[in-house]
């Protein structure tokens, strides 16, 4: 029997949306892998920016412009410190993980040639597959797949067999968004570097739950989105080692990313500005910085401990339901449970849960290759956060039981 952590009740006061009534029931929000909820501290930071500081950055000599610039650049430094990058110049502010991945893939178009090879894991979100497929088609590089095993883990023996001197880029998620499994990215990076291949880690699902140290990982690129870690949508970050960012060409052209512009030739600004064309999402960056402050104040020791308890409680209860199949049901994972019940369609189950005020995700979770591997067309995914409670776990499990009884 799990006891409620007294800290959670206080934490939940920061999230006004958790007081909403949906279909006559208190909302139980279990779709955190899609987007986390936003605390008042972040909402207020964004509101205060618009009320007191709103101005364009880097271009103005007036007070508001300088103040906005300071806020924007402070977020860059907060991200650097949070992920333990060596230099703030290695942090590119983007619109999110998808933008970050496309930026890197676009840059490698000028580096790759026919016969080079790329390696993608079978566990990837479509955002970490499609840009590389497009790159492969443009350059003639061969896209190879690092396969998964039945338990949802990656087959490292197969990975070792496909790595070779033609491998130029490896891209893999730190945590699977569909299964919650934590991948051995440090070992994946170490093995790739034996062949001088660059490695991009999609960290969108890891950063809400784990402390990320890009220097310790020795990652060449690492990405995440603010809305996964209690921040706003439309803002994210790309970490890239300085030597790689200097090699890659700009992704977009426009203001801010230039050094000199003439009709004969344009030269580009140094990193990070080379990759930040146009007016950025300044308010989003302010919110991103506030979100980093917030989750660090909560503390990752508490986050990991509480979420581990939530996951164990939910998993233990769900396993007792007749016909239950949990995909990626292993120890080393974050609080994500992806499941089906025999003879019950995932969409129907999710719809009935919604009528009870319980928000889960159904479908393929932008991971069709995983679904194809298991021979299914989707799952129900319940994903927890540090502001969820054991009472919500119990109500969710009871909701699943009721829904199954209605559908069978």
Sequential DSSP letters for 344-390: --HHHHHHHHHHTTEE-EEE-TT-HHHHHHHT-S-EEEEE--TT--H
Cα separation, 67 vs 209, in Å, equals: 32
| Helix %, strand %, coil % of the chain (to 5) | 45, 20, 40
Cα separation, 361 vs 382, in Å, equals: 7
Task: Tell me what the mean pLDDT of segment 8-37 comes to.
Answer: 96
Pairing assessment for the beta strands 336-341 and 324-327 based on DSSP bridges: antiparallel
Say if 71 falls within a structural domain: yes
CATH code where residue 238 lies: 3.40.640.10
Q: Could you give the 3-state DSSP secondary structure of residue 366?
A: coil
Tell which of 296, 314, 329 closes a domain.
Answer: 296
Q: Which residues pair with 260 in a beta bridge?
A: 267
**Tens digit of pLDDT for each residue in 262-301?**
788 877 778 889 998 889 999 999 999 999 999 999 999 9
Tell which of 268, 296, 324 closes a domain.
Answer: 296
Q: Describe the crossing of helices 282-298 and 300-318 by its angle, rounded to 10 degrees.
A: 80
**Tens digit of pLDDT for each residue in 369-391?**
999 999 999 999 999 999 999 99
Say if 35 falls within a structural domain: no
Q: Residue 2 pLDDT > 80, yes or no? A: no
Band of pLDDT at residue 192, cut at 50, 70 and 90: very high
> In which domain, by residue range, is 130 found?
43-296
- Say if CB 197 and CB 205 are below 8 A apart: no
Domains of the chain: total: 2
- Say if CB 390 and CB 314 are below 8 A apart: no
Same domain, 80 and 198: yes
Q: Exposed e or buried b for every residue in 173-197, given b needs 16+ CB within 10 A?
A: bbbbbbbbbbbbbeebbebbeeeeb
Same domain, 228 and 312: no
**Tens digit of pLDDT for each residue in 43-99?**
999 999 999 999 999 877 899 999 999 999 999 999 999 999 999 999 999 999 999
Tell which of 245, 269, 296 closes a domain.
Answer: 296
Same domain, 26 and 147: no
Same domain, 151 and 73: yes
**Tens digit of pLDDT for each residue in 318-347?**
999 999 999 999 999 999 999 999 999 999
Give me the percent of the chain exceeding a pLDDT of 90. Answer: 90
Our answer to whether residue 367 is catalytic in this structure is no
Same domain, 18 and 137: no
Q: Residue 170 pLDDT > 90, yes or no? A: yes
Between 260 and 275, the more confident residue is 275
Q: What's the sign of the alpha-carbon dihedral 192, 194, 197, 203?
A: positive
pLDDT of residue 277: 84
pLDDT of residue 254: 77
- For the beta sheet containing 221-225, the strands, ordered from the edge strand earlier in sequence to the opposite edge, are 91-94, 236-240, 221-225, 198-202, 167-173, 117-121, 142-146
Task: Tell me what the mean pLDDT of segment 130-156 comes to.
Answer: 96
Same domain, 84 and 194: yes
Instruction: Please report where in the chains the tokens 């995440």 appear, as a residue.
Output: 224
- Say if CB 184 and CB 174 are below 8 A apart: no
Q: Phi and psi dihedrals of 6, rounded to 5?
A: -60, -25
pTM to 2 decimals?
A: 0.96
Q: Could you give the 3-state DSSP secondary structure of residue 87?
A: coil
Same domain, 99 and 217: yes
- Altogether, the residues listed in the chain come to a count of 408
Say if 279 falls within a structural domain: yes
- Say if CB 229 and CB 250 are below 8 A apart: no
pLDDT of residue 3: 67
pLDDT of residue 73: 96
Q: Residue 257 pLDDT > 80, yes or no? A: no
Of 393, 361, 408, nearest to 125 (Cα)? 361
Say if 36 falls within a structural domain: no
Say if 156 falls within a structural domain: yes
Same domain, 261 and 330: no
Say if 38 falls within a structural domain: no
Same domain, 189 and 335: no
Q: Which of 111, 269, 366, 407 is catalytic?
A: 366
CATH code where residue 357 lies: 3.90.1150.10
Same domain, 158 and 281: yes
Say if 1 falls within a structural domain: no
Same domain, 139 and 225: yes
Between 3 and 286, the more confident residue is 286
Say if 186 falls within a structural domain: yes
- Say if CB 154 and CB 306 are below 8 A apart: no
Q: Describe the crossing of helices 390-407 and 300-318 by its angle, rounded to 10 degrees.
A: 30
Cα separation, 170 vs 183, in Å, equals: 14
Q: Exposed e or buried b for every residue in 250-287, given b needs 16+ CB within 10 A?
A: bbeeeebbbeeeeeeeeebbebbbbbbbeebbbbbbbb
Same domain, 360 and 276: no
H-only helix segments in 13-148? 40-52, 63-83, 97-108, 130-139
Q: What's the sign of the alpha-carbon dihedral 308, 311, 313, 319?
A: negative
- Mean pLDDT rounded to a whole number for the chain: 95
* CA–CA distances in Å: residue 87 to residues 79, 166, 214, 215, 241: 10, 30, 11, 11, 9
Q: Which residues pair with 142 in a beta bridge?
A: 117
């Amino acid at each position: 029997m799990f006891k409620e952590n007294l800290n959670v009740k206080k934490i939940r006061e920061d999230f006004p949306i958790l007081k909403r009534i949906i279909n006559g029931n208190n909302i139980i929000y279990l779709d955190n892998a899609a987007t986390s909820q936003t605390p008042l501290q972040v909402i207020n930071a964004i509101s205060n920016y618009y009320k007191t500081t709103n101005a364009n950055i880097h271009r103005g000599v007036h007070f508001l412009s300088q103040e906005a610039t300071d806020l924007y650049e402070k977020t860059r430094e907060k991200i650097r410190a949070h992920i333990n990058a060596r230099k703030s110049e290695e942090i590119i502010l983007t619109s999110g993980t998808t933008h970050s991945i496309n930026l890197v893939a676009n840059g490698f178009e000028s580096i790759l040639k026919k016969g080079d090879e790329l390696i993608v894991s079978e566990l990837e979100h479509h955002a970490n597959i499609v840009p590389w497929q497009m790159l492969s088609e443009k350059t003639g590089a061969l896209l190879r797949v690092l396969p998964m095993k039945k338990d949802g883990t990656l087959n490292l023996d197969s990975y070792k067999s496909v790595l070779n001197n033609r491998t130029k880029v490896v891209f893999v998620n730190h945590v699977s968004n569909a299964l919650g499994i934590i991948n051995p990215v440090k070992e994946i990076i170490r093995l790739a570097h034996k062949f001088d291949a660059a490695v991009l880690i999609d960290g969108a699902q890891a950063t809400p739950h784990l402390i990320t140290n890009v220097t310790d990982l020795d990652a060449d690129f690492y990405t995440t989105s603010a809305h996964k870690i209690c921040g706003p949508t439309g803002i994210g970050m790309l970490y890239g080692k300085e030597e790689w960012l200097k090699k890659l060409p700009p992704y977009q052209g426009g203001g801010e990313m230039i050094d000199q512009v003439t009709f004969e030739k344009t030269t580009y600004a140094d990193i990070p500005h080379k990759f930040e064309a146009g007016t950025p999402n300044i308010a989003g960056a302010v919110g991103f910085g506030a979100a980093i402050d917030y989750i660090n104040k909560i503390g990752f020791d508490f986050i990991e401990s509480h979420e581990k308890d939530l996951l164990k409680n939910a998993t233990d209860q769900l396993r007792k339901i007749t016909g239950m199949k949990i995909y990626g049901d292993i120890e080393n994972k974050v609080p994500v449970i992806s499941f089906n019940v025999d003879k019950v369609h995932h969409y129907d189950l999710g719809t009935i849960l919604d009528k009870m005020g319980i928000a889960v995700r159904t479908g393929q979770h932008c991971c069709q290759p995983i679904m194809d591997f298991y021979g299914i067309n989707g799952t129900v995914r319940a994903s927890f956060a540090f502001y969820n409670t054991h009472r919500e776990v119990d109500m969710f499990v009871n909701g699943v039981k009721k829904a199954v009884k209605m559908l069978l």
